Chain A
Amino acid sequence: MTHVPPFRLPRGGRLIDRSDQLGFRFDGRHLRGLRGDTLASALLANGQMMMGRSFKYHRPRGPVASGAEEPNALLGLGQGGRFEPNQRATTTALVPGMVTRSQNCWPSLDADIGAVNDWLSPLLPAGFYYKTFIHPRPFWKHVFEPVIRRSAGLGKAPTDPDPDLYEQAYGFADVVVVGGGIAGLQAARDAAAGGGSVTVLEQSPHWGGRTPIDHAGGQDAIDALLTDLRAMPGVTLRRNCMATGLYDHGYLIAREALADHDPNQGIPRQRLWRIRAGRVITATGALERPLSFACNDVPGVMLASAMRDFIDLHGVAPGQRIVVVTNNDDAYRTALIAADAGLDVAAIVDARPQATGDLPQAVRDRGIEVLTGSAIAKVKGRRHVEAVAICDQDGEGKITRTVECDAVAMSGGWSPVVHLYSHCGGKLTWDDAQALFRPDPDRPPLGADGQGIAQAVGAANGDLCCAGDLERPEGATMPVWVMPARAPHKLRAKMWLDYQNDVKVTDVELAAREGYASVEHTKRYTTLGMATDQGKLSNINGLAVLSGALDQPIPATGTTTFRPPYTPLTLATIAADARGEAFQPLRKTPMHGWHEAKGASWEPVGHWRRPYAYPQGAEDREAAVAREILAVRKGVGTLDASTLGKIVVKGPDAGRFMDMMYTNMMSTLKVGRCRYGLMCNENGFLMDDGVVARLSDDTWLCHTTTGGADRIHAHMEDWLQCEWWDWKVFTANLTEQYAQIAVAGPQARTLLERLNGSIDLSADALPFMAWAEGDLAGIPARIFRISFSGELSFEIAVPAARGLELWEKLHDAGADLGITPYGTEAMHVMRAEKGFIMIGDETDGTIIPQDLGLDWAISKKKADYIGKRAQRRLHMVDGTRWKLVGLQSLDGQVLPDGAYAATDQVNANGQRVTEGRVTSSYRSPTLDRPVAMGLVRHGPARMGQVLEFPMPSGAVMKARIVDPVFYDKEGSRLNG
């Protein structure tokens, strides 16, 4: 049998516009389709039945289905940034100029090297990789895995950024109906009649589902329903919108295609809907099942419904001479439509002993031969169907005759689409009469009120013959899981259950023999129903074969879990506009623009961007940091400290509360004074630190670390609301209300005095750890005499809107003093020179203040504070904890941050026992030598001892344990 184009039928095709030809490319060839075509119908119209190669054996494959369940016709679409792999040809609308290519083949679809796997298939059963590639072990990594990775898998991932736009939207509806077929539209009309908002989502561009194709008068019935619905208030009808998942409490995710594969419209390509549905009605229809006969995967074998879709919707003939094979009446419709289209229907092969209904009779009336009690023993042909060998269904496959044909329409019955119903807990029940799983109305997915939140209607509910009011009785479906019934191994080894994952009847039987009695285990072992199939085509046939092999009824085997998404979502839709500049909310201080203009090199701190340093000219970051430090130590510098958290705590019980929050005694802090405070969690571990200022009798201002503001504010509110709700305390997070500038260096006071403020900045009036309020350069300001650099230092808080103004005035006034902006790295180095700890460097969530020698900041007088009890636990006080020390490297090299000190002892695993690690390490420009801090076992008691730090290179660095304060031990500078 030859297979020759053209395949576009001379008439028919309710969706196509024959006057509008669209050019597109497939594997480099220029082809033409029609507006209204899917990519699959356009390829078929060009005689391109073979559209890809299978996953494992690289067998030639054509489309099996016409919708979202298609396992084979997955193409790569687009070019460059718009390239997208694994797109279903059956659901992709043809767009002019579309560039498409086949997958899973090399060097080409026709001459594919990997096809050798098919000849080796007897050697490649389920679990083959697990069993075979264990020994010798190095072979897996260096030989087997690279080879397998190259030849297996679906399409290639794109490499360029996606230039299209994507977005999300939040929807709300009392009722969401999923599926715009006749059952869905009727359910929507009923729901809307009761008032409330009703949204109908239809995955395709067309309303009506199968009804217009399968039923006389179907289109009129659909049109009438749509007319009614459009006139009803509160009804939203949304096409091109695929409900991909139903989640807890009726949260429905759906993807709306707005300008799919069509970059010319300038609007978002897809929109991800997040819909809060009061109730969900699944009217998702049913999927036709393949039949398991030998070589049921040869291009040209397709579902009977898909074949009539291509003929009826697109005017495309999948073949000129067709054999229909079925176990039910419905497939006879395909024979009728094909015959009406002028195609030759060679025979109907019906597995049932008899076929007597209206549909078989109508077929016989056309003179088409109906072979009952028959089966296909084997499909002949490799790249295309050439003939089918016929045998008795109730037999071993003895061939009775051969029928030449170029296409086979198969129907193994229908399975309701139960995915959405199952996604969040809805259970299924086995309908023995129809041989299908359908939603169990007694065990639906539950909503927040404990009531069922989803209900299935129509074919999705197993009501397969209803089509609304267009009901037509049909003869019963006879379950046929293997064709013929007693097919020998040779035939079963060529019966595909899961086309996409190349799983055959014999694979599932093997899994059962090897002890995989659970359907979930069999799924993993064989890959049956994995990936995008999600049980759409393969599920029931696979379960039935497994049940047969285990000799138990199908409901005893059960079904695998249906997981969202129903069809794959692009990652871009999930990310939506969270990309590029909008990837994350970048937090900017009021002086951000100034830093940017001065060429700041940024350091991300949480979502903040802080200047790391301000390199000038050809200067690198390290040189800039050194210059900034020396400028501060010798003159004056400014640091943008606006990111520090600023939380006000106020109320009659605020002092008591502060004493619980901090390890220090904060209630005794005098108004006008500051105190460095430590905050621990209930587990005793240090979580934040900062300077606390007492603003008034009942008000404290807590500074937190840059990353800590929101967290610490939430921590305070947690304790206030959930533990001490009778305490009269209010908090307010005022972090963003103020810009804060640290002015540090021996010239700091000189500089500030030039700005004509109302505040006396003298050491007597404003000593170290005091604060004062007034104005500075005409701006209302609060000035804190605190220092993180070890220098004379003032931190000035002004309303955020005036932060830049003050910053610029400081720089104008300090030009002759060599005023220098400094960044976070200079700050880090300077605090390390002073032995000040940094949350996140010296702490990692397992460090208590006592580890850091901060006992002085822990009140002994207080009965309680958060973390106090935990700090008395045995391993907190057993004397073996690593404690903070300074580390002086012996060879003058900077110790790597995080390096571990090792002893000579060896643990049970043969590893050297460690006794400390480096927590901060820098080259100090001030001292012109390395400085480092670290946590060392018994560290403070081991001053002068030398530790060994093995390097990855094998070298060993040595460092002496020293006092952690490297610079100005007496503190004379900050007290200046």
Chain B
Amino acid sequence: MAEHLARISPVTDLGMIALRGDLAAIADAAGMAAPDRTGIATDGPRSLAWMSPDEALLILPAPQTPEAVEALTLALDGQHALVADVSDARAVFDVIGPGAADVIAKLAPVDAAAMPQGHLRRTRMAQVATAIWRIEGGFRVIGFRSTGDYLGLILRNAAIAGSGLAPR
């Protein structure tokens, strides 16, 4: 049996903080560079992703989350902003392997193969909302916790051995 197109592994050690407000102020408060539109900027273990013109997502190691929520709330105090821990609302999968782009291309209406590094694409995969960006050797996909089983299942289905998208 041939190899699967990619290995699908759940990621459970990430914290995520949704931040709404002025993006420059948010980046300041997070001590990170502000991401470009639809960008994701990584600095060490933390990434700050552009989610919409007034929303960013801070992704960080899970144990650092409560402290970061507190610090951000404090830093943004007095400004019109919203800080919310959304770590538990998420399901995260890494799609790693030579056929990772094919797996994404089967589920999301995006040109996965052409997706640049440092770009976060919010879209849908089959019937659920996701955000996708490139990581070493493939892609990271975040979806919602309640549909985590579904997301894992469709990713594994799409990665079935011998089903690469290259013309045959």
Direct contact of A and B (CB under 8 A): yes
Report the minimal beta-carbon distance from A696 to chain B, rounded to whole angstroms. Answer: 11
Name the residue of chain B whose CB is nearest to the CB of A735: B89
> Quick check: is B32 within 8 A (CB to CB) of the other chain?
no
A residues near B80, Cβ cutoff 8 Å = 651-652, 728, 730
Report the minimal beta-carbon distance from B62 to chain A, rounded to whole angstroms. Answer: 9
- Among A165, A169, A587, contact of B160 (Cβ-Cβ < 8 Å): A165
B residues near A590, Cβ cutoff 8 Å = 145
Report the minimal beta-carbon distance from A204 to chain B, rounded to whole angstroms. Answer: 14
A residues near B168, Cβ cutoff 8 Å = 239-240, 258
Q: How far is the CA of A17 from the CA of B127 in the complex (A)?
A: 45
Contacts of A711-761 to chain B: CB distance below 8 A: 728, 730, 732, 734-738
A residues near B146, Cβ cutoff 8 Å = 587-589, 608, 736
Q: State whether B109 touches A730 (Cβ < 8 A).
A: no
A residues near B147, Cβ cutoff 8 Å = 585-588, 607
Q: How far is the CA of A324 from the CA of B89 in the complex (A)?
A: 72
> Quick check: is A577 within 8 A (CB to CB) of the other chain?
yes
- Among B106, B144, B150, contact of A582 (Cβ-Cβ < 8 Å): B150
> What's the interface size class on A, roughly?
35 or more
B residues near A648, Cβ cutoff 8 Å = 82, 84
Q: State whether B20 touches A730 (Cβ < 8 A).
A: yes
A residues near B165, Cβ cutoff 8 Å = 169
- Supposing A168-B106, A169-B106, A737-B86 touch, asked if A800 and B127 sit within 8 A by C-beta, the answer is no
> Quick check: is B108 within 8 A (CB to CB) of the other chain?
yes
Q: State whether B111 touches A172 (Cβ < 8 A).
A: yes
- Among A266, A271, A608, A736, contact of B88 (Cβ-Cβ < 8 Å): A736
> Quick check: is B131 within 8 A (CB to CB) of the other chain?
no
A residues near B88, Cβ cutoff 8 Å = 736-738, 799-801
> Quick check: is B105 within 8 A (CB to CB) of the other chain?
yes
> What's the interface size class on B, roughly?
35 or more
Q: State whether B105 touches A588 (Cβ < 8 A).
A: no
Q: State whether B167 touches A577 (Cβ < 8 A).
A: no
- Among A165, A577, A799, contact of B154 (Cβ-Cβ < 8 Å): A577
Q: State whether B89 touches A800 (Cβ < 8 A).
A: yes
Q: State whether A577 touches B158 (Cβ < 8 A).
A: yes
> Quick check: is B163 within 8 A (CB to CB) of the other chain?
yes
- Supposing A237-B167, A239-B167 touch, asked if A585 and B128 sit within 8 A by C-beta, the answer is yes
Report the minimal beta-carbon distance from A67 to chain B, rounded to whole angstroms. Answer: 21
Name the residue of chain B whose CB is nearest to the CB of A251: B109
1/0 per residue, CB under 8 A from A, across B137-168: the answer is 00000001111111101100110111101011
Q: How far is the CA of A650 from the CA of B160 in the complex (A)?
A: 45
Name the residue of chain A whose CB is nearest to the CB of B54: A730
Name the residue of chain B whose CB is nearest to the CB of A733: B89
> Quick check: is B81 within 8 A (CB to CB) of the other chain?
yes
> Quick check: is A167 within 8 A (CB to CB) of the other chain?
yes
Q: How far is the CA of A626 from the CA of B86 in the complex (A)?
A: 38
Contacts of A218-249 to chain B: CB distance below 8 A: 236-240
Name the residue of chain B whose CB is nearest to the CB of A268: B163
Q: State whether B167 touches A238 (Cβ < 8 A).
A: yes
1/0 per residue, CB under 8 A from B, across A801-814: the answer is 10000000000000
Report the minimal beta-carbon distance from B86 to chain A, rounded to whole angstroms. Answer: 5
Contacts of B69-90 to chain A: CB distance below 8 A: 80-82, 84-90
> Quick check: is A267 within 8 A (CB to CB) of the other chain?
yes
Q: State whether A577 touches B86 (Cβ < 8 A).
A: no
Interface of chain B: mostly helix, strand, loop or mixed: mixed
Q: State whether A732 touches B162 (Cβ < 8 A).
A: no
> Quick check: is B126 within 8 A (CB to CB) of the other chain?
yes
Inter-chain CB contacts under 8 Å: number: 119
A residues near B145, Cβ cutoff 8 Å = 590, 736, 800
Q: State whether A582 touches B89 (Cβ < 8 A).
A: no
Report the minimal beta-carbon distance from B117 to chain A, rounded to whole angstroms. Answer: 18
Q: How far is the CA of A582 from the CA of B128 in the complex (A)?
A: 11
Name the residue of chain B whose CB is nearest to the CB of A653: B80
Q: How far is the CA of A601 from the CA of B151 in the complex (A)?
A: 24
- Among B18, B85, B109, B158, contact of A167 (Cβ-Cβ < 8 Å): B158
> Quick check: is A265 within 8 A (CB to CB) of the other chain?
yes
Name the residue of chain A whose CB is nearest to the CB of B151: A585
Name the residue of chain B whose CB is nearest to the CB of A267: B162
Q: How far is the CA of A843 from the CA of B145 in the complex (A)?
A: 30
> Quick check: is A584 within 8 A (CB to CB) of the other chain?
yes
Q: State whether B84 touches A734 (Cβ < 8 A).
A: yes
> Quick check: is A581 within 8 A (CB to CB) of the other chain?
yes
- Supposing A168-B106, A736-B145 touch, asked if A577 and B162 sit within 8 A by C-beta, the answer is no
Q: How far is the CA of A734 from the CA of B110 in the complex (A)?
A: 27
Q: How far is the CA of A589 from the CA of B87 in the complex (A)?
A: 15
Q: State whether A586 touches B162 (Cβ < 8 A).
A: no
Q: How far is the CA of A730 from the CA of B168 in the complex (A)?
A: 50
> Quick check: is B98 within 8 A (CB to CB) of the other chain?
no
B residues near A582, Cβ cutoff 8 Å = 126, 150, 153-154, 157
> Quick check: is A656 within 8 A (CB to CB) of the other chain?
no
> Quick check: is B39 within 8 A (CB to CB) of the other chain?
no
Name the residue of chain B whose CB is nearest to the CB of A265: B162
> Quick check: is A274 within 8 A (CB to CB) of the other chain?
yes
A residues near B158, Cβ cutoff 8 Å = 167, 577
Q: State whether A581 touches B153 (Cβ < 8 A).
A: yes
A residues near B102, Cβ cutoff 8 Å = 169
> Quick check: is A466 within 8 A (CB to CB) of the other chain?
no
Report the minimal beta-carbon distance from B137 to chain A, rounded to whole angstroms. Answer: 21
> Quick check: is A170 within 8 A (CB to CB) of the other chain?
yes
Name the residue of chain A whose CB is nearest to the CB of B80: A728
> Quick check: is A193 within 8 A (CB to CB) of the other chain?
no
> Quick check: is A578 within 8 A (CB to CB) of the other chain?
yes
Q: State whether B84 touches A737 (Cβ < 8 A).
A: yes
Q: State whether A586 touches B150 (Cβ < 8 A).
A: yes
Contacts of A125-175 to chain B: CB distance below 8 A: 165, 167-172
Contacts of A342-371 to chain B: CB distance below 8 A: none
> Quick check: is B21 within 8 A (CB to CB) of the other chain?
yes
Q: State whether B167 touches A736 (Cβ < 8 A).
A: no
Q: How far is the CA of A236 from the CA of B102 in the complex (A)?
A: 15
Contacts of A54-83 to chain B: CB distance below 8 A: none
Q: State whether B114 touches A172 (Cβ < 8 A).
A: yes
19 more contacts with CB within 8 A, not counting A267-B161, A271-B163, A800-B88, are: A165-B157, A168-B106, A239-B167, A258-B163, A258-B168, A266-B1, A267-B160, A578-B127, A582-B154, A585-B126, A585-B127, A585-B151, A590-B145, A648-B82, A732-B86, A734-B89, A736-B89, A737-B89, A799-B88
The 5 closest A-B pairs by CB, nearest first: A736-B89, A800-B88, A587-B146, A585-B150, A730-B82
25 A-B pairs with CB atoms under 8 Å apart are A165-B160, A167-B106, A167-B158, A236-B167, A266-B161, A266-B162, A267-B162, A268-B160, A581-B153, A582-B126, A582-B150, A582-B153, A585-B150, A587-B144, A587-B147, A588-B147, A608-B146, A650-B82, A728-B80, A732-B20, A735-B89, A737-B86, A737-B89, A800-B89, A801-B88
